[in-house]
C-alpha cells in the first residue's frame, strides 16, 4: 500500500494518505528537530511519494513549524491546494494572557487567525482542538468552530487528547444544533499505549470519527534503537520522552518486534507502524521524521503485511489493562450469547446457563 492509496477521513469526503506527516520536528527551536532546509526536503519527499496530509500545531517550535509549511507551500496557491494542512489551537504563545490559550471563542478564533497568517493560506483544511479545556463549555467551542467553517476559514474539524465522554457530548451537540460535526480524533496509540481501546476507539468508530494516532513509536522507544541488549548504553535523542518508557514491558514488546521484523526482512519500527495502521478505526497514522532516511524507513511500513500469528504475538505481549467497564464488558458475550457466534464474535459457553430441561422462572 503506497502513500497514494488514499482513505476518506472519518465520516467525510476528505481524502488523506494512510500516513500523515507530523511537523512537530520542523524547526530546531525546541533544542531538537530539523533545520528549515531539512524540513522542506522532508516535505518535498513526502509529497513526491504521494503523501498529501501534513499535521502541525500553533505551538510546535513556537509557531516556526507552521511558518516553515507556510513559506514552502502556503504562499504558492498551486502547491497549497494539493495538500491537506491540519493544525491545532489551544496552546498559549502569551503566558501572561489567560485568554492566550484554551478553547474559548476569544482564544480559538485569535489562534486560528494567527495560524492562517503563519501558514500563509486563506483556509485550514482540518482544525484540531489540541486538548480538552475544562474551563470552557463545549457548546461555546463547537459554536465558534462552526462559525469558522461557515466563514470559509476552516474546512473540517477534529479533537485531540480529549476524554471520550466529552468528544461524544460535542459530537451529539453539534448534530442536534445543526453545527459542523467532528470528522476525526487524534490520540496517542501504539503497542505501548493501548488503553485508548477501552473508550476512545469504540467511541470514534460509533460516531464516525477517523482516528489519526500520534506517537505510534512511543517517541522512538519502539524504533528498534533501544533494546534489552544495549539498555543504558544508547543515549536517547529526546531524553525523558524516551527514557521514561525504557522498562521491562517495553523490552518484551521490542523482543517480539525484532523477531517479527527478522521473519519479514524489515525493521522493528516498520512492524510497529504496520500494527498501528492496521488497527480497527485507524484512518491515517501520524509519522514524524527528522531526516529523509527516517521518512523513507517509516513510509516503508505501508508495504509490511503481518500474518495472523505475528499479529497475535504482538497483541499478546502488549495487552493493556482497561478501565472499568471496558475490561468487564469483554466478558459480557459469555452470558449474552455463550456458545454462539454473533457478528463474528464467538463466546465461550456460560457455565451458569440453564440446562435444556431446567426450569426458568
Q: In what order do the strands lie in the sheet with 154-160?
A: 210-214, 182-188, 154-160, 124-129, 84-89, 53-55, 19-22, 285-287
* 68/181 same-domain check: yes
In a domain, 243, yes or no: no
Place of cell 512537530: 24
> What's the CATH number where 121 sits?
3.20.20.100
The number of domains in the chain is 2
In a domain, 77, yes or no: yes
* 201/136 same-domain check: yes
Q: What are the pLDDT digits (tens) for 207-263? A: 999 999 999 999 999 998 888 887 666 666 666 667 778 889 999 999 999 999 999
Residue among 57, 39, 20 at smallest CA distance from 213: 20
Residue among 157, 76, 81, 78 at smallest CA distance from 112: 157
251 noted as active-site residue:
no
* 202/339 same-domain check: no
Residue among 164, 155, 107, 160 at smallest CA distance from 129: 160
pLDDT of residue 337: 92
10 Å Cβ neighbour count for 97? 11
In a domain, 359, yes or no: no
* 328/216 same-domain check: no
DSSP assignments along 165-195, one per residue: HHHHHHHHHHHHHTPPPEEEEEEE-BTTB-G
In a domain, 83, yes or no: yes
The pTM score is: 0.94
CA within 13 Å, CB half, 152: 2
Q: Are strands 154-160 and 182-188 parallel, antiparallel or unpaired?
A: parallel
- Please report, in tens digits, the pLDDT of each residue of the chain (361 residues total): 789 999 999 999 999 999 999 999 999 988 888 999 999 999 999 999 999 999 999 999 999 999 999 999 999 999 999 999 999 999 999 999 999 999 999 999 999 999 999 999 999 999 999 999 999 999 999 999 999 999 999 999 999 999 999 999 999 999 999 999 999 999 999 999 999 999 999 999 999 999 999 999 999 999 988 888 876 666 666 666 677 788 899 999 999 999 999 999 999 999 999 999 999 999 999 999 999 999 999 999 999 999 999 999 999 999 999 999 999 999 999 989 999 999 998 999 999 888 888 877 8
In a domain, 333, yes or no: yes
Q: What are the pLDDT digits (tens) for 32-59? A: 889 999 999 999 999 999 999 999 999 9
Identify the bridge partners of residue 129 per DSSP, sorted by sequence position: 89, 159
In terms of residue numbers, what domain contains 141? 7-224+268-305
In this structure, the dihedral spanned by the alpha carbons of residues 137, 196, 24 and 56, taken in order and rounded to 10 degrees, is: -50
**Which residue among the candidates 46, 60, 189, 226 is catalytic per the annotation?**
60
Sign of CA dihedral 31, 35, 36, 39: negative
* 40/162 same-domain check: yes
* 194/335 same-domain check: no
Are 315 and 300 contacting, i.e. CB atoms less than 8 angstroms apart?
Answer: no
Amino acid at each position: 500500500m503506497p502513500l497514494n492509496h488514499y482513505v476518506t477521513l472519518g465520516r467525510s469526503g476528505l481524502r488523506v494518505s494512510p500516513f500523515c506527516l507530523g511537523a512537530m520536528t520542523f524547526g530546531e527551536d525546541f533544542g531538537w528537530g530539523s533545520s528549515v532546509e531539512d524540513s522542506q526536503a522532508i516535505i518535498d519527499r513526502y509529497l513526491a511519494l504521494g503523501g498529501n496530509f501534513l499535521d502541525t500545531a500553533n505551538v510546535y517550535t513556537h509557531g516556526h513549524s507552521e511558518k516553515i509549511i507556510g513559506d514552502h507551500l502556503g504562499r504558492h496557491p498551486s502547491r497549497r491546494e494539493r495538500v491537506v494542512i491540519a493544525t491545532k489551537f489551544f496552546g498559549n504563545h502569551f503566558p501572561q494572557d489567560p485568554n492566550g490559550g484554551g478553547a474559548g471563542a476569544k482564544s480559538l478564533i485569535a489562534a486560528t487567525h494567527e495560524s492562517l497568517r503563519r501558514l500563509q493560506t486563506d483556509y485550514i483544511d482540518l482544525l484540531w482542538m489540541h486538548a480538552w479545556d475544562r474551563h470552557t463549555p463545549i457548546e461555546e467551542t463547537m459554536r465558534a468552530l462552526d462559525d469558522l467553517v461557515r466563514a470559509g476559514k476552516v474546512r473540517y474539524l477534529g479533537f485531540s487528547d480529549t476524554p471520550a465522554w466529552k468528544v461524544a457530548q460535542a459530537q451529539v451537540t453539534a448534530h442536534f444544533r445543526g453545527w459542523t460535526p467532528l470528522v476525526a480524533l487524534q490520540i496517542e496509540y501504539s503497542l505501548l499505549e493501548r488503553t485508548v481501546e477501552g473508550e476512545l476507539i469504540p467511541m470514534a468508530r460509533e460516531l464516525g470519527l477517523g482516528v489519526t494516532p500520534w506517537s505510534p513509536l512511543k517517541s522512538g522507544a519502539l524504533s528498534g534503537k533501544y533494546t534489552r541488549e544495549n539498555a543504558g548504553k544508547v543515549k536517547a535523542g529526546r531524553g525523558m520522552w524516551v527514557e521514561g518508557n525504557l522498562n521491562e514491558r517495553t523490552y518484551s514488546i521490542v523482543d517480539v518486534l525484532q523477531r517479527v521484523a527478522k521473519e519479514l526482512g524489515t525493521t522493528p519500527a516498520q512492524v510497529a507502524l504496520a500494527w498501528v495502521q492496521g488497527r480497527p478505526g485507524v484512518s491515517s497514522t501520524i509519522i514524524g521524521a527528522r531526516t529523509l532516511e527516517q521518512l523513507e524507513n517509516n513510509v516503508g511500513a505501508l508495504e509490511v503485511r503481518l500474518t495472523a500469528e505475528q499479529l497475535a504475538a504482538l497483541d499478546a505481549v502488549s495487552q493493556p489493562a482497561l478501565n472499568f467497564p471496558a475490561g468487564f464488558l469483554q466478558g459480557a458475550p459469555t452470558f449474552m450469547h455463550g456458545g454462539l457466534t454473533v457478528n463474528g464474535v464467538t463466546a465461550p459457553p456460560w457455565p451458569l446457563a440453564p440446562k435444556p430441561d431446567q426450569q426458568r422462572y
